[in-house]
Each structure stands twice: as C-alpha cells, then as structure tokens.
Structure 1
C-alpha cells in the first residue's frame, strides 16, 4: 500500500488541487450547525406541533442521509416519549398514518426512495417536513403538500453536509417537546466543531494534529470502530461512512455490547492473531507446491493488513457493564497484537459529544485520502449520490 506521510505536512501540496476546495467545507461544520438551526425556525417548523405530539417519528433518508434517524434518536435519548424510527426504502411501512410525522432528509433532493416516501405520506395524511436543497424534486413535493421545507444553502459536497441535514430534525423535536436541547447546547456543539477545525487545520503538523495522527494510525489497517453508547454508535457509523466516501477506505462499525461482542472475535481471525499463526506455519500448506512451501513469508507478513480497534468512549452515558466490556476488548486486542486507539467524546450535552467525534473523523478521512494518494474531492460515478 502506497503511503505518503510527507504530504500531510507539505503546505504547498495541501493548498493545491482538490484538497484546497474540500477542507473549507469540512471546516464549515460549526457555522453549519448555527445556520441550519436558524433556517429550521424560519421554515416554520413550529407549526408541526399544532396537533400535539405525533404517535411516532419516521426519519426517511438513504446513503449518507440514513444516519439522520440515529442522530436524532441518540440526541433525544432513551427517555423520548415518541419512538424515532429510520426508514431507507421506497414507500412507507404499513403502520404510518395521520397520527405520525415523516421527516424526509436528502442532501441532493433527488433520492427516489425519499421522494416516494413523501408522496405516500402525503396520500396517507401524515405530517411531513423536508430537509433538502431548494429547486429540487423533493423540495417541490414539500411545496405541493404545504409541508415545511428547510433548505440546504451553499454548494457543498453531500458528504460534508451532515450538520445541515440533521440539526433541523433536532429543532423539530424541540418544537414537539420531546427534547430539551436548547440554543446553548446548539451553540456548544458549534463551538466544539470550530475547536476541532482549529486543532485539525492543515497548517497544524502531524505530531500535534489529532486528525493527521489518526489517519496515519489507520493507514494500512482494517479498522473496527466500536461505540460504547448511542451517541458514539452514531459517531462510529459516521466515521466508517466518511472513510469510505472520502478516502475510499474500508472500515467496520459496531457498538458494545451488540454487535461489538461478536466483532471482537475477529481478533482471532486472519486479520488479527490468526495472521501471525498462519505466517509462522499454522496454516495448511500444499506439499505439492514445494516452491510455495519454502518461499520467504517475512516480507508478506510486513505487508499484511492487520485489524485496528478504534474504541469510542462516552464516559458521560456509558453503562458500567459496557465500560467493563470495553476494557476487556482492549485487553483482548493487546494480547493478540491488535493495535488500539481510544477516543473519548467531549462535552456535556449529547449533541456536543457527538460533534467532538464526528468533527475529528471528517478531517481524518480527508488526511487519510491524501496520504494514500487519493483526491478526496473526487467522487467516483458509482457513489456519486452518497448523501442523497
């Protein structure tokens, strides 16, 4: 695997090409939080509460927008009086009706799945709100239904619009009285994201830049990103999404206790301890191929991809039994020679804690792409609609 560590501290190369266009969008997360909260209020979100609390909230979105449901559920928390359910397919579940609220989220406003869900919601008489760019098919559906439309403003790549897509949902939940997240918490999240942007700025050298450091730790490994709470579970999903969309790099996401408790079993597989056993002769070798049997495997072992555990801790809301499981996972990794990186969510409110981790991984994906020689501003045709 080609890895150019020097590019991360080369000011001329960081200021050239696609990176110069992409990093400002990544660094705009803080202003996105503030702006999207204002746009949601201006869109008339409050009128969704005129008929009281809905029976359930269905959050519709696909690809990158699919994280919106998990985001809202994590920030609202387990004490929500209203179930929050994600939906990522065409149409709607059979139970959705006039007593329910459908929140449609799309970074492009063109998703066929999301459009069909809104059309069906309108036919069934459900309350609807839409977050999408103006002058798009989804925005037109909102206009036809007389539903609030929170517009996405500015021309930014879809995978850098996470906060513009999700914060309006939080404003909706506040209007419905199912969450108490106020302006102070929203401002704290915006400030936290600006702090992350400062610490992860391109001019900050690798040894003091947490995103560059993390990118170099991930390079050449197969990361397993495990959360320890609802908040860090969403951060883990967002991390793997960004690594894939920006750096074209694979990673696994999970949560303790489930499904992380069985993902830890991978430590004994071919990308963990099992790799060393195979390299030392533990694997079955065909004796008919003497040349293969006697070949030098030392260089192959150096080049082999190994697992790396990225553990996202959440001391504020982590259950004691989950904390013990996290410690056992770290011990199991160490015993098997699997590298470990522990990151802690920072902040008092769930929104701020989520921002502290998502902000870091958004920068990490960009720096990992650069180190691997990938232009992070270019999206292949196969994934052009990520974040729909």
Structure 2
C-alpha cells in the first residue's frame, strides 16, 4: 500500500536517490568543464555520423532533424561496413560498457574514422579508440545523460547539430530539483503529486515528440525499477488500443465492497516546444482515457518555468527529471528500500 505520509519524512533529505537527482545539474556542468583530449575542426564535415553506446538514441533524437549529413544510432553488434576514414563515430561509454560497443569502437578507429568518445580516460573504450583522429571527452561519473550533453555540445560546435548551452541544460535540471525538493510540501511538489497519481495504477506513458518519447521510455524504466510493477511507454496508437480494451469504470461501485481493481493511469509528457500538430493527437488520447474512467496525469516541460524558446535538450531534461522524481517518491511511498 502507498503511504503518502512517508513523503513528508524529514529523513528524505538524506535519501540517496533524491540526492543523486538533485545533483544532476552539477554533474552536467562538471562534464562540460572537462577539456577534450584532441580536437576536431569544424571544416572536417564527415560523410556520415554513427553513434554507439549509452544514450546514443538521445543523441539521435537531437541531431536527426538538423544534422546536415546522414546520422544513425547503431544497435550493434557489428560495425556497419560503410564506416571509414570519411565518417565520424560517436561513442558514449563507461568502464562497464558492453563488449560489442568496445569492439565496434576499436574497429571504427582501426578503419581510420574520426571519433568523439565520451568515457573515463582509463576505460577499455578510451584505450581502444586512442588515435590522432579521436577527440576524447573525459568522464569521471556514471551519468550517461551528462556525458550525452557534453557530446551534443561538441557536435553543435562542429555544426553537426543544434547549439547546446550546457549551462541552460544544467539550470533546467536545477529548476526541477528545486520544485521537487523533499522539503517542499506535497501540495506544491510536482514529484510527490506525480507519485500520488501513479500510486495505485499501472502507468501507460506517452510522449508525442521524438525527445518526449525518449524521456517516456526512461521514465518507464525508472518506474519499473522503483515499484517492481509493469510500466509501458508506447506510441499513441498502441496506447489507444490498450485503452479501448479497458472496462469502463462504474461510478456507483463501492470501492470497499471488494478488492480494488488495479487500473491503468495515462501519463502524458507535454513537450511545450513548437509541436502544435501533436495537440489533436494528445486530445484524442486523453478523451479516450477519460471515456473509460482512466486517470490522466501530466508532466510538462514548461508550466511557465521554462520559456517556450528553450532548446530541445533543456525540455528533454525537464521532462525526464520530473518523471524520475515521481518514480523516486513512488518508491518511497511504497516503502521499498532506497537503492539509489
């Protein structure tokens, strides 16, 4: 059972998971301050770009709409045959990167591809990709998103993606941390509110834009880890199919007469950027849920706190962090142990 009184405990100031979320902005700033080893010149525009490793799909979501050359996030396990000296390979890794990522990175370096590698200097990936054509962004923390922001900043400087202002991205994370701080009362804390909305349901999560969809999958993973329950992130058509199979709620049923039915909760991620074409799709999905009595929860990347001209990465971080705080408070309210 979910106990909302646990969300007001003074001990939450020392909760490992909440403290880690609160330091996200600081980790993003530290990753950006690391001086790259080696440097690519803007004039060296590649024939194509391939991304490997953790958060490669986030890099793809940001770059694909604006990248002037073909871009691909590669799932492995072997390196594509076309990668060669005219191409750029982007690798995001750590000390525990899968063997196939290390092998693909080493093969790309052997073929003479230019490389941007975000990894600890002493990691197997850094050793396997060391060359005159490699730019190494040293990372010392196990935070894939901070490394991805550092990579996106470098790619933007090379003219291969949008300009990313690391300070703005870190500020977006800090704003969420302030709003969702454990000392803030449940009535004004969006993270605690989200936990209450999801407490007795099975989350169905939708993000309309490419970046919101990516955030929805990360949030679903966090909810599954936090609760041990199913949580699904999917496209609108797939969620609509599931909602159409939900039995309409009986408004006259006595919830205390029998064991309560576990019902879905629709969680909608609003990317407040210029996505007006998605508004009708969002309205249709919300109406379908409300027609059968399914609760609708919402996470916004704006709500007046972030200007609508904020960049894609800032909006993504805002959506993701708000969802991760909700998952953390959900774990706390269910009385599950703090796993960080």
Q: TM-score, normalised by structure 1?
A: 0.78
In structure 2, relative to structure 1, the CA distance for the partners of 1:116 and 1:247 (3 Å cut) is farther
| 1:120-147 per-position Cα deviation (integer Å, ceiling 9, x unaligned) | 2122222222212232222222336762
Distance 1:100 1:144 in 2: 15
**Match in the other structure for 2:82:** 95
Q: 1:88·1:113 contact (CA, 8 Å) conserved in 2? A: no
Runs of 4+ aligned structure 1 residues displaced above 6 Å come to: none
Q: Which residue is equivalent to 1:212? A: 192
Query: Structure 2: which 5+ residue stretches go unaligned?
Result: none
Shift of 1:298: 5.0
CA RMSD of aligned residues (A): 2.5
Aligned residues: 331
Larger Rg: 1
Q: 1:11 to 1:248 in 2, by over 3 A?
A: same
CA shift for structure 1 position 340: 0.5
1:150 has 2:137 as partner:
yes
Native 8 Å contact 1:29 1:193 kept in 2: yes
- Determine the C-alpha separation between the residues in 1 that align with 2:155 and 2:133: 19
- TM-score using structure 2 length: 0.88
Q: What are the residue-to-residue correspondences of 1:1-388 with 2, within 5 Å? A: 2-12=1-11, 14-15=12-13, 19=15, 21-39=16-34, 42-44=35-37, 47-49=39-41, 52-61=44-53, 65=54, 68-76=55-63, 78-143=65-130, 147-154=134-141, 158=142, 161-182=143-164, 185-254=165-234, 259-269=235-245, 272-273=246-247, 298-300=257-259, 302=260, 304-320=261-277, 322-346=278-302, 347=306, 348-377=310-339
Once structures 1 and 2 are overlaid, which stretch shifts more, 28-37 or 103-112?
103-112
Q: Distance in 1 between matches of 2:170 and 2:138?
A: 19
The worse-fitting range, judged by mean Cα deviation, of 22-31 and 241-250 is: 241-250
Taking structure 1 as reference, are residues 129 and 79 closer, same or farther at Cα in structure 2, changes over 3 Å only? Answer: closer
Quote how far apart the aligned CAs of 1:162 are.
Answer: 3.6
- Structure number with the higher helix fraction is 1
Distance 1:243 1:145, change over 3 A: farther
What CA distance in whole angstroms lies between the structure 2 residues aligned with 1:244 and 1:128?
A: 35
User: In the alignment, which residue of structure 2 is the partner of 1:293?
Assistant: none
SS in structure 2 of the partner of residue 373 of structure 1: coil
Compute the displacement of 1:172 (Å). 2.5
Would you say the 8 A contact 1:193–1:359 is kept in 2? yes
Q: Any conservation in 1 of the 2:180–2:325 contact (CA below 8 Å)?
A: yes
